[in-house]
Structure 1
Amino acid sequence: MKIVKTKVFEGKSIYSHKTCIRLDVDLEGYCEIPSKDIEDFNFNLVNMLPELRTHRCGIDEEEGFIKRLKEGTYLAHICEHIIIAIQNNLGIDVHFGKAREIKDDHYYIIFQYQYENTAIESSKLAIDIINSLINKNPINYEDRFELIKEILKEEMLGPSTKAICDYAKSIGLPVIKFERGEFHQIGYGKRAKKIEASISPNTKCISVDIASDKLLTKELLKSQNIPVAEGSKIRNIINLLKEAEDIGYPVVIKPQYGNKGKGVVLNIKTEMELLTAYRKLKVKFKDLIIEKYHNGKDFRVCVINNKVVAVALRKPPCIEGDGKDNILELMEKLNDNPLRGDDHEKPLTKVKLDEEVLGSLKDQGKALMDVLEKGEKIYLRKNANLSTGGEAVDYTDKICDENIDICIRVAKILELDICGIDICTNDISKPLIDNGIVMEVNAAPGLRMHLRPSKGKSIDLGKEIVSMIYKDEPSNIPVISITGTNGKTTTTRLISHTLSKMGYCVGMTSSSGVFVNDKCIDKGDDTGFKSARTVLLNPDVDIAVLETARGGLIRNGLAYDLADVAVITNIREDHLGIDGVKSMEDLCHVKSLVGEAVKDDGYVVINADDYWSKSILNRIKAKKIFFTTKNLEEFMEEKDPNNIYVYIKNKNIIIENEEKKYLLCKIDDIPITLNGNLEFNVQNVLAATAALVGMKIDYCMIKNGITSYLLNSDKNSGRFNCYDVNGVNVILDYGHNSDGYNAVLSSLKKINNGKVYGVVGIPGDRADNAVEEIGEISAKYLDYIIIKEDQDLRGRSTGEVAKLIESGILNYNKNKKYEIILKEEDALIKALTMAKSGDSIIIFFEKIEMLKNVINDYVKERELVEKYKFGAIN
């Protein structure tokens, strides 16, 4: 068994609304061999991973997966369960998975993940486990598992970041994770807020710099009469000894720039101890300071937005004797506490045996092999940092008002919106003056001690921080997502145009590019994940309007979490046979993702004229808006008063909402419908109107938007753009499937009195019958046909698509006039030379700019010919 391809989905996908990974595998001849037929496979697998006994599997009963193994199940399914089991053993809460056949030995496996690299390495280990059980070539599972644990340590969110992100998600704010560890964005566009652990978007860089300098921090606090430890920077040994003598023993030496208690040596009582500590620290740290040691308890006060929100007593790790076990054994028992983890993944951290522990034992006259008497307590460290094994007890309700005031003053002096203030005092309920000192101030304080204290209540600091950065009004920008087979781009542009006219800065993705505030920031077919993410990360955007195409949905899933409004213009027979979409049911499954990923109070816009669009209604949980080109009374026998309806009656657009009817405007007043003759644009207008109604836009504003949107290349490039070339009506359109051709050509017949010449083609990745159908439709409507091909043949050989279109033409009418000119610019030139005033030319293009140039050059050339028709050029 081997991995062929790995694809990571960051958000909702066609496979799951959970984050998941698709693993394509080759079973290498084992597709029809169940594991029960492989000697000792099941027995050895369950021995290696007892966790599998807890898997209920699809039959949803105790030891369901074990039952499946005994009955006979296949390797891809087993691999899925192994991957989930490995992640569960790492403490990762994931459960979802499935395996499906692609063809023969090729399968894909879907499995849920939280940490990408950890999950991928788990999948590699799962494959190796299966191969080792088949080949009877044992692997060292424990060693591999430990390596993955190290990857997880690097990847796992810290408790501070997790608390903030978890709270944001709990109130409906989306979170985007960046490559760099703790760096995340909450929300989208103009409402986005970036955080890094407990550093907020409002935290000042200069304040962080000051807080990281312990000496400068003390200087500023002392200037405002905040009690701090007396001391100074160590210049040399002579200066060190003199300063210790001046301030008096015991003393503390520590790095001027440091965190998490690293390098701090406390309670130094003699000159010899001082010199020993100094020499050790000088090897690791360039800048050291000396301070007067103050005896007392270690408190951490968390201040957010000039408000004391949490207080914790921090205690060094401690063991208590039982009269039997030695200190090393008691340490092991301490670390066996299920609340202790290797790092910060649990409330407490294991105590590592290091020089500091040995030194602390020595100071207490103890050694590792000593047996403590029953009830005898000793501290394993002098510092109480949680990261080195300390414990925390909540004291939030015990701090006195005077100390609250001091802590708020400290935060204001350093101009820190979030900080952790370390205080040494015997009693936090009594004023610090003459009773304690401020030891340090942390600009990015760890929140774990307050979130998950060893004793006392948990304080939701994630909520406090999110409330602060959003000024108690957490909200996100609206997201409108448009999908479907035809009409996506025009509908997207109409919505964007209307919102822009209202003064909003709209971020729009479409098949013509990414636009922010009507300015193109990227040209191309930008209808996928990356382009949508570009808009969502843009700090200027008020509203995101995203064209969301089939290909992007399949390849990368959704870039956003939930939309406010989703639009499904229609679902038609296009792209079948591509990207694993074999049937209309498959295509509906893909498109329905956009309708499923909508907020509870949002809307999904559905084309009531389209059978396949209505077929996905059972998947949609949000409220619904239906649009139809028909008269609603004739179209629907029974209306649901909970739905909104947008429809046509007597050539007027009617909105029916909460059982009231509103006349929006006349169809003839909307330029892109050409007096209602372009039925496909009538549908696009209705879809856009419905989306704007779902956004609760004032109806006058909707009317203003749709009636000011013009049918030209500036506003709606590539969609039925008309050019007058010496009396010939030249139309450029991006129709690229049978429905698009039918819609455009039937409309053109209504408005054209002369002959209609067509330059026709279709992308090469369409099925043969779909290509031939283009020929048949062209023969039905066009007087003369010129067959061209796209430059991008999409896997076809030159002339192959043209031959299929030709076959379709001849199937419909053997006498139909046509010719083949493969280059679309040459084909257009030929059509221009044939057409006469009053005729029309329709070209279904691949690249519009090139054809615009052809038209401009042709017009200039004809002007020159006319100018010098009766005389020579001078």
Structure 2
Amino acid sequence: MSADRPTPTGPPTAALRLLEQRVYRGPNVWSYEPAVHLVVDLGVLESYPSDTLPGFTDALLEYLPGIHEHTCSRGHRGGFVERLREGTWLGHVTEHVALQLQQEIGHDLRRGKTRMVRDRPGVYNVIYSFVDERVGLAAGELAVRLVNHLVEPEEGFDVATALERFQLRAQRLSFGPSTAAIIEEAASRDIPWTRLNEHSLVQLGQGVHAQRIRATMTSRTSALAVDIAGDKNLTGRLLGSAGLPVPRSETVRTAEAAASAARRIGYPVVVKPLDGNHGRGVCLDLREEQQVREAFVVAEAQSKRGVVQVETFVHGKDYRCLIIGGRMAAIAERVPAHVVGDGEHTVLELVDITNSDPRRGVGHEKVLTRITVDAAATALVREQGLALDDVPAREQVVRLAQTGNMSTGGISVDRTFDAHPENVEIAEEAARLIGLDVAGIDFICPDITAPVRETGGAICEVNAAPGFRMHTHPTVGEPQFIAKPVVDLLFPPGTPSRVPIVAVTGTNGKTTTSRMLAHIMKGLGRKVGMTSTDGIVIDERLVIKADASGPRSARMVLQNPRVDLAVMEVARGGILREGLGYDRNDVAVVTNIQPDHLGMRGINTLEQLAAVKAVVVEAVPRNGFAVLNADDALVRAMRRRCSGTVIWFSLEPPDSPVRQFIDEQCRRGRRAVVLEPSDRGEMIVLRQGRRSMPLAWTHLLPSTFGGAARMNVANALAATGAAFALDAPLHDIRQGLRTFSTSYYQSPGRLNRIDVDHVEVFVDYCHNPPGMRMLGDFVESYVTRRQGSAEHRISRIGMIGAAGDRRDDDIRELGAIAAEHFDALIIREDDNLRRRPAGESARLVREGAEEAMRGGARCRQVDTVLDEIAAVRHALVLANPGDVTVLCVDQHAKVLAELEALTHRATAGSRTDEEQPGDPDLDARALRHQATAAASADDTRLRAAVGSPAEPGDE
């Protein structure tokens, strides 16, 4: 505890406030594992550590004695209690309370941390692990309330009641015993899993390897087999025709028919719903016609189709044989709900004592179910000569249910290794006949250790999706690890469950690098799922058009059953908002760290931005790779965060310090992708240890425009390194780079070139100062090469715009850099103004450009046309044949459609608009009409471009 405690400014009050909640579903800036992030404000409690609050620690330990086990930073049991006695701030206490609340419901969680928010005294980041995110959030909310209550009692707040409600809620949200057992087994084998709904539908594995379960029903469970098992009459006929022991049975729809069937079959009989489950509506050992008629009413109420089955009552014990993949996995003897007399308590009191067992809960929430005393139980007790308020004799067994189902309060005794081999063979044959991969065979026989064909007995039911809890948590006997054969069934030993994941991040070049890599791997026959700022692409088909560079999009790709390789563009915002959305990536690519998005979400410096981007590097396992830009010092430093192997790439010449660093790394056996200059040009070279492998000339790659587009040379190096990490053959990498171009169809919105009436137009998504600098360098190099053969001076016209959520200085810098490279600028605005008034972003860009012009920049003309399509038209009006026009766009599809329309209009002469040829992929006419309508609707914004300021409400 620090000695410099804040001076109290008032008495301690319940001032702890929850300001913000966030759930990280994968590796994040705080931890490698999923975590809940709370932002809490202590208020006046910042001046009151735990040791200054009388009785606080003792009360907390009384409510949550499990906190005694917390080690905290001390590393030994009771370490956190020591911190409480010495004095620790209540944000830290909130973290431990949230963890302990989850431990109370069986979630073994120990990871957490609390850190003060920079420059905000009294405000803390509280981070802790979770198993179920809804339970984790509820634990945080209750922790805040409980800490406040211990400081200043809240009127009407009962801690015991609140804890019980939290436990009940958590039990409702948590997986049942069967699903939990399968997930635990999958996780122990490093098989990833994803919950697909609020119940028990879960995906195991990723992409093409994915399998699904719902409780104990799997992707391989036959729907036809489930239907057969649900029809008890048909099941009995099929089993009987194969010579398996089954009771005689008939199906009926009326009480009269039930009575007639009972007479034909012979008493005693069983009456049960044809398509029921969990033992509901089953009436046993009926010996009179009136009993059969009454039982019909009970069974009919539980039947979905109103059909009831009457069958021979088989005497014996109730056994459940679990068959998985055609083999016996476990056997349990099911004992109906009952109590045992002690000579002191009544039947009702004995039920209450039995239900107080902490293993018993409501329904399937715990390993045992509470016994319910209903009308059927009361009647059954009466048949045994007792009333509910009678006191049974010592050791007298009082039955409270006829069937041994766990859901009605029964208990289980493990008999897995007691069964006679012939009985096991009968059960396995029954499962095969019905066709179920996971089946529960209900055997009634005097003793499972003796052959049923000799002692008498029968199979009374075959159940699809049988519950596991009687086997995993038997009341008596050893638990059976039956989840193992289920996972073996879905993922046989040696079968992969994961698809390779490549995460690409950085300030600029993410999208193009991702597309290059996806193109290379497509050439190898891979079905690539890719996320980017343009959308989700599955096997080269755009399936969702949106900014899909976040964790939700990543999860959508990993759920697609066609994907066998995932290439994820990972943006800063998604990492800060939810983490990565998956547990690890096999390859991480970091292109560069440049000043963009600063001043947002608490990221104010390049070092902080680099720490966020480094999450993808930290998510690389020991057998994975990180492809890092050695030319960027911040990216180079990320090598210390990588558990796997680093592959470097660099544009620097051989005599530079960076290349000397790479040479040293390669001498140690590392890998690198570098450029080797020669009199014929630059060669991309792969280096591994002492080996050098020439790959391709940069000037022959279509995406580099003869080597002028240095940013795409860098992107090609990064994509090569990632493909190399994925063990792609060199000739396939070479072929991929040679066939990847920046055409609109391969790389929409990224340096797309199109000729419009003899004007060379480039369309690019450039939107930040570093990107503008690279784009300007490309224009300089490209125009210089063309100028030598041109008959007149080539002018450069640029259309630019800035995102409104950037800092004012960044927007001005964008304009200043553009003014250094273009002769004329047209300034537009995005459709989404990002909370700025219309015209404000454009004004800031113009200020930057004009300031640069006063300092001698190249630009001589600046026009403001806010609407994007109108700005495109204006830029082309300024251009003469042979000039180069660069359009930095927001909506690239609309812009390309407009350019295509202008191209056809120029070449088609007098043909009408409807007669113009068009590209169906661009859907030019529809997009052009939309753009025209938008331009008309934005006439007010166009007028604002010539001087009249827009009102703040115009957005």
TM-score, normalised to structure 1, is: 0.91
SS of match in other structure, 2:98: helix
Identify the range of structure 1 (33-42 vs 411-420) with the bigger mean alpha-carbon deviation.
33-42
1:49 matched residue in structure 2: 64
Question: C-alpha separation between the residues in 2 aligned to 1:133 and 1:226?
Answer: 66
Identify the range of structure 1 (417-426 vs 113-122) with the bigger mean alpha-carbon deviation.
113-122
Matched, 1:448 2:469: yes
Question: C-alpha separation between the residues in 2 aligned to 1:827 and 1:243?
Answer: 86
Question: C-alpha separation between the residues in 2 aligned to 1:128 and 1:135?
Answer: 10
Question: C-alpha separation between the residues in 2 aligned to 1:846 and 1:570?
Answer: 22
1:787 matched residue in structure 2: 827
2:139 matched residue in structure 1: 122
Identify the range of structure 1 (462-471 vs 69-78) with the bigger mean alpha-carbon deviation.
69-78
Q: 8 Å contact 2:412–2:476 — kept in the other structure?
A: yes
2:112 matched residue in structure 1: 97
Of 862, 878, 890, which aligns to 1:846?
890
Of 554, 559, 572, which aligns to 1:532?
554
Identify the range of structure 1 (343-352 vs 647-656) with the bigger mean alpha-carbon deviation.
343-352
Matched, 1:802 2:842: yes
Change (3 A) 1:74 1:822: farther
Question: C-alpha separation between the residues in 2 aligned to 1:96 and 1:858?
Answer: 60
1:708 matched residue in structure 2: 739
SS of match in other structure, 1:244: helix
The within-5 A match list for 1:234-249 is 234-249=252-267
Question: C-alpha separation between the residues in 2 aligned to 1:137 and 1:786?
Answer: 62
- Cα distance, 1:350 vs. partner? 4.1
Question: C-alpha separation between the residues in 2 aligned to 1:347 and 1:376?
Answer: 25
Question: C-alpha separation between the residues in 2 aligned to 1:562 and 1:134?
Answer: 41
Q: How large is the Cα RMSD of the aligned pairs?
A: 3.1
SS of match in other structure, 1:11: coil
Matched, 1:820 2:863: yes
Of 153, 156, 181, which aligns to 2:171?
153
Of 765, 770, 774, which aligns to 2:814?
774
Q: 8 Å contact 1:802–1:820 — kept in the other structure?
A: no
Question: C-alpha separation between the residues in 1 aligned to 2:435 and 2:68?
Answer: 55
The within-5 A match list for 1:182-201 is 182-201=200-219
Per-residue CA distance 1:614-642 (angstroms, 9 max, x = gap): 22222221222222223486343522645
Question: C-alpha separation between the residues in 2 aligned to 1:364 and 1:243?
Answer: 27
AA aligned opposite 1:169 = A
- Cα distance, 1:863 vs. partner? 5.4
Q: 8 Å contact 1:565–1:604 — kept in the other structure?
A: yes
The within-5 A match list for 1:518-557 is 518-557=540-579
Identify the range of structure 1 (112-121 vs 437-446) with the bigger mean alpha-carbon deviation.
112-121
The within-5 A match list for 1:241-260 is 241-260=259-278
Q: 8 Å contact 2:26–2:32 — kept in the other structure?
A: yes
Change (3 A) 1:275 1:793: closer
2:190 matched residue in structure 1: 172
Question: C-alpha separation between the residues in 1 aligned to 2:693 and 2:100?
Answer: 57
Per-residue CA distance 1:509-564 (angstroms, 9 max, x = gap): 21222222222222232211232233222222232222121112222222333222
Per-residue CA distance 1:749-802 (angstroms, 9 max, x = gap): 122133433323321211222223223322333333333333322222333333
- Cα distance, 1:736 vs. partner? 1.8
Per-residue CA distance 1:720-768 (angstroms, 9 max, x = gap): 2223344433222212222211222112212213343332332121122
Matched, 1:395 2:438: no
AA aligned opposite 2:78 = E
Matched, 1:109 2:156: no
AA aligned opposite 1:184 = V
Change (3 A) 1:855 1:101: same
Per-residue CA distance 1:406-432 (angstroms, 9 max, x = gap): 223222322222211011122334333
- Cα distance, 1:707 vs. partner? 0.8
AA aligned opposite 1:7 = R
Q: 8 Å contact 1:230–1:247 — kept in the other structure?
A: yes
1:142 matched residue in structure 2: 160
SS of match in other structure, 1:314: strand
AA aligned opposite 1:154 = R
1:871 matched residue in structure 2: none
Per-residue CA distance 1:24-83 (angstroms, 9 max, x = gap): 445565554445555655554444333334333344444344444444444433333332
Q: 8 Å contact 2:647–2:672 — kept in the other structure?
A: yes
- Cα distance, 1:310 vs. partner? 2.3
Of 50, 63, 87, which aligns to 2:102?
87
Per-residue CA distance 1:341-365 (angstroms, 9 max, x = gap): 5554554444444445544444444
Identify the range of structure 1 (450-459 vs 598-607) with the bigger mean alpha-carbon deviation.
450-459
2:662 matched residue in structure 1: 636
2:673 matched residue in structure 1: 646
Question: C-alpha separation between the residues in 2 aligned to 1:235 and 1:723?
Answer: 75
Q: 8 Å contact 1:625–1:690 — kept in the other structure?
A: yes
AA aligned opposite 1:136 = P
Change (3 A) 1:397 1:37: closer
Question: C-alpha separation between the residues in 2 aligned to 1:463 and 1:478?
Answer: 25
Change (3 A) 1:290 1:860: closer
Structure 2 portions without partners, runs of 5+: 1-15, 785-793, 912-955
Q: 8 Å contact 2:232–2:275 — kept in the other structure?
A: yes
Identify the range of structure 1 (485-494 vs 31-40) with the bigger mean alpha-carbon deviation.
31-40
Question: C-alpha separation between the residues in 2 aligned to 1:12 and 1:528?
Answer: 13
1:162 matched residue in structure 2: 180
SS of match in other structure, 1:689: helix
Change (3 A) 1:241 1:853: closer
- Cα distance, 1:379 vs. partner? 4.7
Identify the range of structure 1 (748-757 vs 360-369) with the bigger mean alpha-carbon deviation.
360-369
TM-score, normalised to structure 2, is: 0.84
Identify the range of structure 1 (528-537 vs 122-131) with the bigger mean alpha-carbon deviation.
122-131
Of 670, 684, 691, which aligns to 1:660?
691
- Cα distance, 1:133 vs. partner? 4.1
SS of match in other structure, 2:708: coil
Question: C-alpha separation between the residues in 2 aligned to 1:846 and 1:458?
Answer: 61
- Cα distance, 1:709 vs. partner? 0.6
Of 500, 507, 510, which aligns to 1:485?
507
Question: C-alpha separation between the residues in 1 aligned to 2:596 and 2:818?
Answer: 17
- Cα distance, 1:507 vs. partner? 1.7
Change (3 A) 1:749 1:357: same
Q: 8 Å contact 2:192–2:497 — kept in the other structure?
A: no
Change (3 A) 1:464 1:642: farther
The within-5 A match list for 1:22-101 is 22-25=37-40, 27=42, 30-34=45-49, 41-101=56-116
Change (3 A) 1:834 1:820: closer
Per-residue CA distance 1:182-209 (angstroms, 9 max, x = gap): 1111122222212111111122223212
Identity of aligned residues (%): 33
1:872 matched residue in structure 2: none
AA aligned opposite 1:586 = Q
Change (3 A) 1:808 1:382: same
Q: 8 Å contact 1:311–1:395 — kept in the other structure?
A: yes
Change (3 A) 1:233 1:852: closer
Q: 8 Å contact 1:326–1:368 — kept in the other structure?
A: yes
Matched, 1:689 2:720: yes
- Cα distance, 1:492 vs. partner? 0.7
SS of match in other structure, 1:765: coil
SS of match in other structure, 1:227: coil
SS of match in other structure, 2:452: coil
Change (3 A) 1:374 1:15: same
SS of match in other structure, 2:745: coil
- Cα distance, 1:698 vs. partner? 1.4
1:19 matched residue in structure 2: 34
- Cα distance, 1:388 vs. partner? 3.1
Q: 8 Å contact 1:9–1:557 — kept in the other structure?
A: yes
Q: 8 Å contact 1:787–1:818 — kept in the other structure?
A: no
AA aligned opposite 1:551 = G
Structure 1 portions without partners, runs of 5+: 868-874
SS of match in other structure, 1:601: coil
